Amino acid sequence: MAADGQPSDVTPVPAVDACGGMLTLRTWSWGSVASRVDHQGVVRDHGLAHHEVHAREEDVFECSQLHEDVIPWRNGPAVQSFERQPSGQWQTSEVNSDLYPELAAAGSLAAALEQLAADLGVDLVVVPGGWGALVSAGIAASVPERKPLSVHIGAESRWFGVSGWSQGVELITGSTPDLADVVRAGVAWGQGRSLRELRAELPFLHSSERAEAHDRGPAAVVELQWRLMREQAAEAPDFPEFGALVEAAHVERRLRELYVFSSHWTLGFSSCTGFPFENEVAIAPSYGGGPYRVLKHPHADVISEAATAEEAVALAVTRLPAGLGPAVTGTAK
């Protein structure tokens, strides 16, 4: 980190994948995300070095936005000035015309997308992006559960980043220097093409293991998440209390059927598989010989305490609503 607080070099940042609980490496910038997000994979940010965010599960937000406290850094000539709008969003008033001549000519990313779609003879409905029309946009989908495909631009090199979300899960992500690729991706995404079809037609797009599980249904997502959580516990031998908690919770059928995630080592259990979660109960492991703690959700007030992981799990089960079944697809919203 430089003396003025700006990142001094470009590095991937470890974070928990949005609404996945998977340990991934993701680099966040002023409205752009890296092109590849894979479980425990390294993400490169294509030359951006604006501001990097460490985030745990419930602190993660969708790729089209940054937390309100994160201020985008100026970094080189690509983006000349940022202004904070009344809505609280940061927007840039200039764009590098050498990198993005079509944006400079059209006046915005949204307008450039619409013009190119017309030239290609395809229908495209462009909606506002999270960082203003100049550098961000969304491409609407006709499939109800799919959110608009989020599109952002790179700052120091030419690339367009995209991210597609459905039912609280990021299904596709990628980057390309070709705006026509973005238009084609927006059309295919909007038509409801499958992940396999999207990747086959547009090789710059990628999907995570969790996105693939989402395609198979909520039971597959829950099963994957528990496998990853148990792997995470096995990789933390210096914190056996966490491992004991994960295994004790996995033995209990009612908890095993819920979507499990962790936040600062506290296990949360959701009745839906998408973010934001529907928190039903949470359990914090023992620290330094202290008790295990049962909470309504991670970082909430303590409901009860127990001496062992098994006792804490039993107490947590009593807090579950009667008749609560396995986790379902969707979000708490």
Can you tell me whether residue 303 is helix, strand or coil? strand
The residue count for the chain: 333
Can you tell me whether residue 168 is helix, strand or coil? coil
Integer Cα distance of 143 and 124 in angstroms? 14
Can you tell me whether residue 289 is helix, strand or coil? coil
Lowest mean pLDDT among 71-85, 99-113, 249-263, 289-303: 71-85
Residues facing 137 on adjacent strands = 128, 151
pLDDT at 5: 34
Q: Which two tokens stand for residue 37?
A: 């997000």
Looking at per-residue pLDDT, the higher value among 306 and 90 belongs to 306
Integer Cα distance of 23 and 227 in angstroms? 12
Per-residue model confidence as pLDDT tens digits over 32-75: 232 222 222 222 222 222 222 222 223 333 333 332 222 232 23
Q: Which two tokens stand for residue 157?
A: 């090199």
Per-residue model confidence as pLDDT tens digits over 140-179: 999 999 999 999 999 889 999 999 999 999 999 999 999 9
Q: How much is the pTM?
A: 0.72
Q: Residues 6 or more apart from 239 whose CB is under 8 A from it?
A: 265, 285
Per-residue model confidence as pLDDT tens digits over 192-232: 999 999 999 999 999 999 999 999 999 999 999 999 999 99
**DSSP string of 114-176?**
HHHHHHHT----EEE-TT-TTTEEEE--SSTTBPPEEEEE-SSS--EEEEEEETTEEEEEEEE
Residues 48 and 156: beta-carbon distance below 8 Å: yes
Query: What confidence tier does 93 reach under pLDDT thresholds 50, 70, 90?
Result: low
